Structure 1
Amino acid sequence: MPKHDPRIDAYIERAAPFAQPILARVREWVHEACPQVEETIKWGMPTFEYAGGILCGMAAFKQHASFGFWKHALVLGEGEPRDGMGSYGKMASLQDLPPKKTLVAHIRKAMKLNEDGVKAPTTRKTAPKPPPEAPADLAAALKKNKAAKASFDAFPPGAKREYIEWIVEAKREDTRAKRLAQAVEWMAEGKRRNWKYENC
C-alpha cells in the first residue's frame, strides 16, 4: 500500500477541478514506478523523495498543472526546455500528460540518479553587472556637492544604479534636470532613490 501524505490529499482537493485528475494520475504513476517513494510538501507543493533526495514534484496553478523532475536536465536531456515549472510543459487536461510508459521510464531514470548519488546540475549564475557609471551631468553635479558625492560613493552598486537609471530614463531635458536636482538633494541627505518606501 503506497504511503500517502494527507497534506497532498488536501492539496489535490483544493486544486482547480481541471487539475485534480492530472495531479491524482501523476501521483498514482509515481507510486507505481517507485513503490518506496516518500511524499512530503516542499515550497508549498507536493514533492516526492527517494533514496535520500528529491525525485520529482507537482503543482497546480490557476490555469495549468505541472510535474517536473528535480534533475530535469539529467532525466530528459540538457536541451529540453522547462515550461511552467514542469518537465512536460503546462498541463490543462489528462491529454497533456506524456504516455504512461514514457513517464514511468523517466521516473525510473530519476530513481537511478538518486540511487547513484548524482547531484542536480548547478544552474549557471549570470555574471554580475558591472559597477554603474554616472553620466556626465550627474558626475558634474556631484562634484559641486560634497555631501551628495560622499553618499553616492558609499552606496552599493544597486543603489547607485537606481539613481542613474532614474535620471537617464527621463524622456525630456527639463524632466532630467528636475530629477538630477532632486537626486543630488536626496543624496546630500544620505537618502537612497527609494528612501520613501524603505521604512514602510
Structure 2
Amino acid sequence: MNHKVNEYIASQKEWKKELLALRKILSELPLQEEIKWGIPAYIYKNKNILGMSAFKNYCGLWFHHGVFLKDEHQLLINAQKDKTKGLRQMRFNSIEEMDLKIIKQYVIEAIENAEAGREIKPKRNTKPIIIPEELQKELSTNNELKNCFNDFTLSKQREFCEYISSAKKDATKHRRLEKVISLILNKKGLYDKYKNC
C-alpha cells in the first residue's frame, strides 16, 4: 500500500469510509497503487486503469477507458459530454450505495480491456507551431537558446509559444517571454513542475 494514498484518504473527512472500502477491493486486484494528478491512481502493466477521488458532494472512481466497459448496471457517467471521449465516472453519495462486488467486476473488466489493448489513443496536435515574434527575435540572436528550444518536443515548443501569444498586454508578453527563456535554457518544460505531483 502506498503511504501517499494513506495520507490522501486520511485527509478526507467526508468520504474516508467510502474511500477505504473502494481501496480494499482495489488492493485485491493486480494493480499498482500510486498518486497521480494529486489523487490515488491504479495502474496495470504501466497502463492507467482508474483513479479514486473525493469531491465536495460525492466520491468515486473514474475509468480512463471506461467507454469500453459494458456498464450493465448503468453506473457510469460521462461528466463532460462532447469533451470526454474515453473517461467514465462512477459516483457515490454514501457507502450504502456501493455494491463492492459489482464495482470489482467493473475494475476486472477494465483490466481485461487494458490487456486486450482497448484504449483511446490521444490525437496528435497537427496544427503548426506559430512562434511569436518576441520569441523568434530571441531565437535568431541566441544560438544556445535556439538549440535548447529545438531539443524540446513539438508539444512543449507549442506550449511555450502559446503561453507567450495568449498574453493580451505587451508587459505580460514580456514577463512570459523572460520566464520561457529561463525555462528553455534550464531545459525545463512549462508544466514540468506539475508532472511529479
**Pairwise CA distance, 1:27:** 0.7
Unaligned runs of 5+ in 2: 81-86, 128-132, 134-161, 177-197
Say whether the 8 Å CA contact 1:52–1:114 is kept in structure 2. Answer: no
Q: Give the aligned partner of residue 96 of structure 2.
A: 95
Query: Which is higher, the Rg of structure 1 or of structure 2?
Result: 1
What is the alpha-carbon distance in structure 1 between the residues aligned to residue 118 and residue 46 of structure 2? Answer: 11
Map 1:3-152 to 2 at 5 A: 4-15=1-12, 17-32=13-28, 34=29, 36-76=30-70, 81-83=77-79, 87-89=89-91, 91-97=92-98, 99-116=99-116, 118-122=117-121
TM-score (norm 1): 0.54
Say whether the 8 Å CA contact 1:40–1:46 is kept in structure 2. Answer: yes
What is the alpha-carbon distance in structure 2 between the residues aligned to residue 20 and residue 76 of structure 1? Answer: 29
**Pairwise CA distance, 1:5:** 0.6
Identity %: 17
**Pairwise CA distance, 1:66:** 2.4
Change in 2 beyond 3 A, CA 1:5/1:194:
same
Tell me the secondary structure at the aligned position of residue 79 of structure 2.
Answer: coil
Unaligned runs of 5+ in 1: 129-150, 152-157, 163-191
Q: How many residues are matched?
A: 138
Say whether the 8 Å CA contact 1:18–1:93 is kept in structure 2. Answer: no
Q: Give the aligned partner of residue 172 of structure 2.
A: 197
Specify the code of the residue in structure 2 equivalent to 1:106: Y
What is the alpha-carbon distance in structure 2 between the residues aligned to residue 113 and residue 88 of structure 1? Answer: 17
What is the alpha-carbon distance in structure 2 between the residues aligned to residue 124 and residue 81 of structure 1? Answer: 22
What is the alpha-carbon distance in structure 1 between the residues aligned to residue 55 and residue 42 of structure 2? Answer: 18
